[in-house]
């Protein structure tokens, strides 16, 4: 895709957006159904396919509480009913220091190995095109520790959880050939921190943006060169609502540009959310300041089932006043939707996007 900072100029450009990106969670029965359904309904529009985060992984990082609870240094607490997404939480046992904390397994490598076996078989059977990659979507460490631990423990737990997650990533890159692999970092809690609605130990620092970008850049640079790398930037969708409505794309652009300036390897894609109520030029205007890598594909999460093709086309037209070249996606994952709605949602993507191959 061409560099995104060029202005589209006016609405007269009629060619549809090129390509579809699947953020991650697709609540179908299992990985095989996700691979087969998305490939069939989005024929030629996908460069990579996630396994859907099915079963116990259907609600993004919620399943990580099981692995946190296995640590002998951690004890569980009841859910906070007032939280944005209420669920179990955890704390360190009294007297535990940072270098004592251990997480033996997080489950991501086991899930990826199992799903890639299915992906490979479907490629051999020519269900999945040969040039489509297997996408593994991973949370950032700050996301998980902020979601489950209270601020007094977060600084101590973050290094241990990051080490454990990178071990999982090493196992994934050992199991999946790099030429067949795409890694996506899910960046959501970071925006809650930046917007001042998260109880993170990083909130309120004068250099919070710098601290978060340093972490995201480090994670990007960790991905092997031959594997693809992408970032999903997000404002959440718990209960089909954001943790805060973004005023416009300014903060998203700041993060995307910071990643592009800091990551030393290619970034293959960046995904940005578009709220369903925003088909106005003001939301998209900051996109004119995007400075992405020449090889980076931009995907805008402007497809919403509730207003179909007409709504997507309004948001596409508004976006094109600020940015020339992009593909389409949903705003966040599909994991909080009813499985019966997924085929229609995928067909909607196909109606508004052109193939990439």
User: How does pLDDT run across 297-310, given as a tens digit for each residue?
Assistant: 999 999 999 899 99
Find the mean pLDDT for residues 187-209: 89
- Angle subtended by helix axes 141-148 and 151-175, to nearest 10: 140
Radius of gyration of the chain, Cα coordinates, nearest whole angstrom: 20
**Confidence band of 4 (pLDDT split at 50, 70, 90):** very low
d(CA 123, CA 144): 33
Provide the pLDDT for residue 82. Answer: 61
Task: Say whether pLDDT at 6 is over 70.
Answer: no
77 Cβ neighbours under 8 A, 6+ residues apart: 88, 89, 90, 91
Find the mean pLDDT for residues 344-350: 97
Provide the pLDDT for residue 106. Answer: 95
Task: Say whether pLDDT at 357 is over 90.
Answer: no
Candidates 16, 11, 36; CA nearest to 26 is 36
What domains can you pick out in the chain, each with its CATH number? 31-352 (3.20.20.210)
Region at 60 (left for phi over 0; alpha for psi -120 to 50; beta for the rest)? left
**Confidence band of 8 (pLDDT split at 50, 70, 90):** very low
How would you class 98 by CB atoms within 10 Å of its CB: exposed for 0-12, middle for 13-18, buried for 19 or more?
Answer: middle
Q: Which two tokens stand for residue 312?
A: 């997507």
User: How does pLDDT run across 144-173, given as a tens digit for each residue?
Assistant: 999 899 888 999 999 999 999 999 999 999
* pLDDT greater at residue 260 or residue 52: 260
Determine phi and psi for 289, rounding to 5 degrees. -95, 5
Provide the pLDDT for residue 86. Answer: 65
Region at 212 (left for phi over 0; alpha for psi -120 to 50; beta for the rest)? alpha
Dihedral angle computed from the Cα positions of residues 80, 72, 92 and 220, in that order, rounded to the nearest 10 degrees: -90
**Tokens 């890639």 -> residue:** 116
d(CA 101, CA 122): 40
Find the mean pLDDT for residues 176-202: 93
How would you class 239 by CB atoms within 10 Å of its CB: exposed for 0-12, middle for 13-18, buried for 19 or more?
Answer: exposed
d(CA 286, CA 250): 5
| 89 neighbors 77 (Cβ within 8 angstroms) | yes
């Amino acid at each position: 895709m061409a560099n995104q900072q060029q202005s589209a100029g006016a609405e007269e450009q009629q060619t549809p957006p090129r390509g579809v990106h699947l953020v991650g969670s697709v609540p179908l029965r299992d990985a095989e159904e996700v691979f087969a359904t998305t490939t069939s309904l989005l024929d030629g529009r996908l460069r990579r396919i996630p396994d859907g985060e099915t079963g116990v992984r259907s609600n993004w990082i919620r399943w990580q509480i099981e692995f946190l609870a296995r640590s002998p240094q951690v004890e569980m607490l009841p859910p906070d009913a007032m939280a944005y997404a209420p669920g179990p939480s955890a704390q360190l046992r009294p007297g535990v220091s940072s270098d004592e904390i251990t997480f033996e397994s997080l489950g991501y490598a086991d899930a990826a190995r199992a799903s890639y076996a299915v992906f490979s078989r479907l490629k051999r059977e020519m269900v999945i095109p040969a040039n489509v990659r297997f996408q593994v979507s991973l949370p950032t460490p700050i996301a998980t520790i902020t979601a489950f631990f209270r601020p007094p423990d977060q600084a101590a737990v973050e290094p241990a959880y990051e080490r454990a997650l990178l071990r999982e990533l090493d196992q994934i890159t050992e199991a999946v050939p790099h030429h067949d692999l795409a890694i996506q970092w899910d960046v959501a809690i970071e925006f809650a921190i930046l917007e001042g609605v998260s109880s993170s130990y990083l909130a309120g620092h004068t250099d919070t943006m710098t601290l978060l970008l340093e972490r995201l850049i480090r994670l990007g640079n960790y991905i092997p060169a031959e594997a693809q790398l992408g970032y999903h930037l997000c404002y959440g969708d718990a209960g089909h609502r954001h943790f805060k409505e973004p005023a416009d794309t300014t903060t998203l652009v700041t993060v995307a540009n910071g990643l592009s300036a800091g990551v030393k390897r290619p970034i293959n894609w960046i995904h940005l959310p578009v709220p369903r109520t925003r088909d106005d030029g003001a939301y998209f205007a900051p996109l004119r300041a995007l400075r992405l890598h020449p090889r980076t594909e931009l995907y805008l999460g402007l497809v919403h089932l509730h207003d179909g093709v007409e709504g997507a086309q309004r948001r596409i037209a508004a976006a094109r006043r600020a940015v020339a070249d992009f593909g389409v996606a949903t705003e966040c994952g599909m994991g909080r939707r009813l499985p019966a709605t997924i085929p229609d949602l995928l067909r909607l993507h196909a109606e508004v996007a052109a193939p990439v191959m």
